[in-house]
Structure 1
C-alpha cells in the first residue's frame, strides 16, 4: 500500500488540468441531459476531492466502526435540497471509485433497484474486478447470468444442500478436534478462515488434500485484497499481486476441471444418468457445472473449461470471505452477551441430546430446530454485515424521487442505509434477536444477502455452514476475548482488529 500511495502523490502535480477539462466536459454533458429532460436535476451531493472523491471519508467512517454515518450525515446535509415530501433525502450523489454514484438510502430504494434489475439497471463492478479476473471478459450478459443461476439454483437449494449437513458436521467436528480441543487459547480469525475455505473446497470442488487447499487459499486472499487496492499494476503492489494470484488460481482450477472432465467421461461411459447423479464423487459444484456445460452433447472446448474455472474462482471467494467473517462476528458477540450465549447453548444442547445415538451426525431436521440460533445470526448480520452493498448502472435515463438518473450513472445500495436506521429497527444499536420473530423486519429493510434476481445464491449454503459450526463450537466451549476491547472493524473488509484471540473453557460433563 505504501508504494501505491507514493505513486499517487508523484502523479498528483500532473492531473489538475486534465481533471478540470474532464469535469467541464461532464458538466456540459449533464446540462445537455437536463435540458433534454425538461430541466430535471441530478440528486444533490458532493464530488469530494479530485481523484479520491469521497472514498477516504467512506473508508474512515467504516474504520471507526460507524459505516452508517457516511450515509446518515449526507442524508441530513442534503435534506434541504430534496424534492421528496419526507424531511430527509432519499437519494444523494457522491464520488466513489472514480465514479459519480447515486446512493439510494431507504428500503423503498432497495426495492426499486432489486425489482428493476435488467430493466432500468444492471450489475456493475469497478474496473479493478475486471482487470483482476482478466480472461473473464466484461460483465456476463443477461442470458449468461440467467443460465449460470439456473445451474447454481438447484445446487444451492435446500433440497440439494440438506444432504451435505452430515458432511459439514463431520468436517467441523474434525476441525475442532484438531485445532481447538486441548487448547487454552486460539485465534478465531485464522481458524475460521482455515475451516471455511477447507469446507468450501470439499463442497464445491470435492477436494480434501491439505496441500491442494493451501495452494489455493493464499492466492485467493491476494485476490480479495486486490479488490480494494489502488489500480496500479506495478511489481510489489497489492493490485499486481492480485492479478498474478488470479492467473495462478485460474490455471490451477482449469487443471482440476480438465481432470474432472476426463474422470467424468470415463465414468459416464459405463454408468447411467442416475448413477452419475447419485455418485458422491460427482455431487460437488465443479461436477455440476461440467455436466451442464455439455449436457447438450456437444464437445467441450478449452474456452468452456476456462469459463468454468473463472466461475469457480469467483464463487470460492464469495463463499469463503463472507462466511468466515460472519463466524468471527458471532464469536465476538457471544463472548460479550452471556444471556444470548446461554439461550443459544440451551437450544443447541437440546438438539444434541434429543434422541440422538452416540456419534450420530446432525441432519436437516436438526437445522430446522435452530430457530433462536438463526435469529442470533440474523441480528449479527444486521449489525456487522460482511458485504456492505453493491453497485448498479443505469441502462437508460430514468427518474427516481423526482431526480434525473442519466444512462451510465452508477447507483449504490448499502445495508447501512437501513440496518441501523431506527425507522426500520428501533433502538438500532441494541442486540435483539427477537426482531426476527414472526414476520421479521419490514420488506427490503434487512438485506445482508441483497435481493431481487441477483440475491446471493449461496445464502442457504452460508446458513448451513454457520449453524453447523455454531452447534459444534457452542456445545463444546465457552470463551472470552483476550483483548476485551477488541472490535470488528471495516478496513475496508470487516475483520477483528487483533485476529480475535480467545481463551477457551470446555464445558463440564454436567452440561
Structure 2
C-alpha cells in the first residue's frame, strides 16, 4: 500500500514539474536571439497561476479598474503584462490600444478564447476561431437579420409584443418583483423567438434552465468533475445543442419542401441562415449551426438582461433621472393612439433614455474583457509584443478613467450629448471587424422595455445598498427585488 502511495506521489511530482517546465518554456521563451527587446512592464506572478486570483478578487468586487490602475501606477505605464488564466496577458488600457486592436484584427491579432470555452461549447482548439471568410459570412447574416432597416422594423414589432406580454404576465398587479430573473426571462424568450422561432413556453423554460447552467460555468474553475459548475456547464451545453440540432434538422426539411418560399426567410435567424447556406450551395452542418445559435443567444440574452438590471438600479437610486426618462417616454406615448405600435421613428425620439442606457453600460459594462492573440511579433506604444502572447482589451480601463470621463463614478447621462466622448474610450460593443453586429437590436430591446416599464411603474429597491457584482458575470448582488408603484390613470 505504501509503495502504491509513493508511486502515486512521484507521478504527481513529475506531472507538476513537467507542467511548470512546459509553461515556462512556452510562455517565456519569446525571442532568444534578441535579449534587448523592450517588453511591456509587469509581473507574471506565481508559475501557472500568475495573478489570476488577484484579478478574480477584483472581479467579484466589481472594481476591475483598481486592478488595472494599481499596476499602471506601479509600472508607470498605460499598458502592462501579467499572467492570467495560465497565459501571459498584455492589458491594453487606452483608447489608442482599443483602436489598435480593432484595426488589426486578422492582420496582427486574432480572437482568442480560454480553453474552458472550447470544452463547454464542444469545440476543437481551432473551431472557435474560424477562418476570416467563415466569420465574415456569419457576421453578414447576423447583420442582415439584426441591423438592416427592414429587419429592425419587423423585430421592433416582435420585441414590443413580447415586452407587453411579459409585463402583463409577471409585473402588472404585483406590489413587489425580483427583477433580474424576470429580465433574463424576457430577453431569453425574445432570443428564442427571433433566433429560432420557438414559442412554446415549456420548451423555452427548459432551454433557459440549461442556458443558466452554461453561463454559470463559462468562467468557473475548469475542473471537469461531477458536481462542479464547469462539469454541469459542459453537460448542459451538450444537451442544449442536441435540442437545437433537432430544431435545425426539422427546419431544414421544411425549407427544402417549400423551395418556392425561400424569399420569405426573414421570420427568424435560423431560417435566414439555412436559406443563405442553401443559396450559396453550402452544406448546412447541424452541429456547427447549433454552436452558432448558442453563441448568438449568449450575446443577445445575458448582456441585455444585465444592462436592463443596471438601468433599473440607477433609475431607482436617481429619481431626477427617472423623471426625465418618464417625461420623454410619455411624450412618445401621448403622440400615439392607445393601441398604436411603436415605430423606429418613435425609438429615435428616446435620446435621453438611450443616454441613460449608455451611462449604465459605461459604469457597468456587461463584458469585462475580450481577448486577442498576437499572430506575429509587433510593436505597440514603444513595446514589443511577441507572437503567441495574449492581449486583453480592458473595458474598465477607459470607461472608468477620469482622463476620459471626468468624475468617472458619477452617473451622468449628459456625457453622451453632442460629441464629448473621446474616440475609442467608450467601447461596450467592441469595434472594428468584431464590433457587435446586434448592437441595434440590443438598443431596440432596451428602449422598448424601458418605454413600457416606465409607462406603468415607478419603483424602489428593496435593499437600498444593493450593488452590481460579478459572480463571475455581472449580476445584482441579491437579484434586484423592487417595490412597484403603479402610475395612477
Q: TM-score range by the shorter chain?
A: over 0.9
Q: Distance in 1 between matches of 2:46 and 2:146?
A: 43
- Any idea what the Cα deviations from partners look like across 1:269-320, whole Å, max 9, x if unmatched? 4x4x54x24xxxx52100011111111346x45xx22221110011111111
Q: How many residues align?
A: 476
Matches within 5 A, 1:344-359: 344-354=325-335, 356-359=336-339
Q: How far has the Cα of 1:25 moved from its partner?
A: 2.7
> Of the candidates 361, 365, 368, which is equivalent to residue 348 of structure 2?
368
Q: Distance in 1 between matches of 2:65 and 2:239?
A: 37
Q: How far has the Cα of 1:376 moved from its partner?
A: 0.5
Q: Distance in 2 between matches of 1:238 and 1:247?
A: 14
- Any idea what the Cα deviations from partners look like across 1:78-114, whole Å, max 9, x if unmatched? 01xxxxxxxxx12110111110101111000100111
Q: How far has the Cα of 1:49 moved from its partner?
A: 2.6
> Of the candidates 241, 257, 281, which is equivalent to residue 266 of structure 1?
257
Q: SS where residue 40 of structure 1 aligns?
A: coil
> Of the candidates 150, 154, 166, which is equivalent to residue 144 of structure 2?
154
Q: Which runs of 4+ in 1 moved over 6 A?
A: 11-15
Partner residue in 1 for 2:43:
46
- Any idea what the Cα deviations from partners look like across 1:389-409, whole Å, max 9, x if unmatched? 200000101111222211110
Q: Distance in 2 between matches of 1:193 and 1:259?
A: 27
Partner residue in 2 for 1:214:
205
- Any conservation in 1 of the 2:113–2:128 contact (CA below 8 Å)? no
- Any conservation in 2 of the 1:47–1:100 contact (CA below 8 Å)? yes
Partner residue in 2 for 1:141:
131
- Any idea what the Cα deviations from partners look like across 1:424-463, whole Å, max 9, x if unmatched? 0011111111111112411100000111100111111110
- Any idea what the Cα deviations from partners look like across 1:191-213, whole Å, max 9, x if unmatched? 10111100111111111100111
- Any conservation in 1 of the 2:99–2:424 contact (CA below 8 Å)? yes
Cα RMSD over matched residues?
A: 1.8
Matches within 5 A, 1:2-401: 17-18=17-18, 20-22=20-22, 24-26=24-26, 29-30=29-30, 32=32, 34-35=34-35, 39-79=36-76, 89-135=77-123, 137-159=127-149, 160-269=151-260, 271=261, 273-274=262-263, 276-277=264-265, 282-297=266-281, 300=283, 304-354=285-335, 356-401=336-381
Distance 1:233 1:62, change over 3 A: closer
Partner residue in 1 for 2:385:
405
- Any conservation in 1 of the 2:245–2:290 contact (CA below 8 Å)? yes
Q: Distance in 2 between matches of 1:224 and 1:414?
A: 21
- Any conservation in 1 of the 2:62–2:470 contact (CA below 8 Å)? yes
- Any conservation in 2 of the 1:59–1:491 contact (CA below 8 Å)? no
Q: How far has the Cα of 1:162 moved from its partner?
A: 2.1
Distance 1:362 1:56, change over 3 A: same
Q: How far has the Cα of 1:173 moved from its partner?
A: 0.9
TM-score, structure 1 normalization: 0.90
Partner residue in 2 for 1:420:
400
- Any conservation in 1 of the 2:93–2:393 contact (CA below 8 Å)? yes
Q: How far has the Cα of 1:12 moved from its partner?
A: 9.0
> Of the candidates 457, 467, 470, which is equivalent to residue 490 of structure 1?
470
- Any idea what the Cα deviations from partners look like across 1:138-197, whole Å, max 9, x if unmatched? 521111111111221111214121222122112111111110011110000111011110
Q: SS where residue 29 of structure 1 aligns?
A: coil
- Any conservation in 2 of the 1:200–1:319 contact (CA below 8 Å)? yes
- Any conservation in 1 of the 2:121–2:291 contact (CA below 8 Å)? yes
Distance 1:138 1:430, change over 3 A: closer
Q: How far has the Cα of 1:57 moved from its partner?
A: 1.2
TM-score, structure 2 normalization: 0.94
- Any idea what the Cα deviations from partners look like across 1:329-380, whole Å, max 9, x if unmatched? 00000000000000000000000011x2221111111101000000000000
Partner residue in 2 for 1:5:
none
Q: SS where residue 38 of structure 2 aligns?
A: coil
Q: Distance in 2 between matches of 1:174 and 1:393?
A: 44
Please state if 1:429 is matched with 2:427: no
Moved more, 178-187 or 25-34: 25-34
Partner residue in 2 for 1:475:
455
Q: How far has the Cα of 1:412 moved from its partner?
A: 0.5
Q: Distance in 1 between matches of 2:368 and 2:24?
A: 32
Distance 1:14 1:378, change over 3 A: farther
Moved more, 155-164 or 173-182: 155-164
Distance 1:31 1:407, change over 3 A: closer
- Any conservation in 2 of the 1:105–1:417 contact (CA below 8 Å)? yes
